[in-house]
Amino acid sequence: MALSRKRGFMAKKVLKRIAIILSVIVFLVAGVILAYNFGWRLLGFSACVSPERYITYHYEVKEDSVEILFTKNGFHGIGHTLGYVTEEKDGTLKIGIKYYMGLVPLLFDNGPRTETIRIPFKTEPQKIILSGDGYEIDIDDHVNEEFYQDYLDTLQRIEEQEKNKTSE
């Protein structure tokens, strides 16, 4: 009888240890996910994607914000931009963009994803710098207006095709 009590006690002890180990693993995985999604902001521009990794097609300075149309490369099936960080100093707006690159970007590459991001500012910038991963690029040197015009033409064609379908 004493032996069966001892086995029952040992089984409970083993189950308790397994539960603690699984809890720690879940806690660590959740911590890594939260750090990747939100903690990168603490590192600032060094945690942002290098502007050499994405292509800026167009930007427009509005009265209180900058709208940037860009393409991301890698695994972005859901177009998951995590956010951006900015710094305004001496008429220069420095922008760093962070987006989800996936666990294995080359294996699951879904091609480029075009996205527009709106970045508010306090004072209208004279110069806009794209920054990330130790690189800085003047946005004027990183714009492809030709693609932007093709992009607008494509959107207009799609819109016209949709109108034609609904009118039939």
Q: In the prediction, which pLDDT does 112 show?
A: 58
Q: In the prediction, which pLDDT does 75 show?
A: 44
Q: In the prediction, which pLDDT does 76 show?
A: 46
Q: Check if the beta carbon of residue 116 is closer than 8 Å to that of residue 84.
A: no
Amino acid letter at 41? Answer: R
Q: In the prediction, which pLDDT does 66 show?
A: 92
Q: Check if the beta carbon of residue 117 is closer than 8 Å to that of residue 48.
A: no
pTM of the prediction? 0.68
- Rounded to whole angstroms, the Cα distance separating 32 from 39 reads 9
- Rounded to whole angstroms, the Cα distance separating 93 from 55 reads 18
Taking the chain, what is the end-to-end CA distance rounded to the nearest angstrom?
A: 85
- Rounded to whole angstroms, the Cα distance separating 157 from 159 reads 5
How far, rounded to the nearest angstrom, does the alpha carbon of residue 53 sit from its chain's CA centroid?
12
User: Which strand (E) or helix (H) includes residue 89?
Assistant: strand 81-89
The whole-number mean pLDDT for each consecutive block of 10 residues of the chain, a chain of 168 residues, reads: 65 89 95 82 85 82 89 57 89 88 52 79 91 89 80 85 79
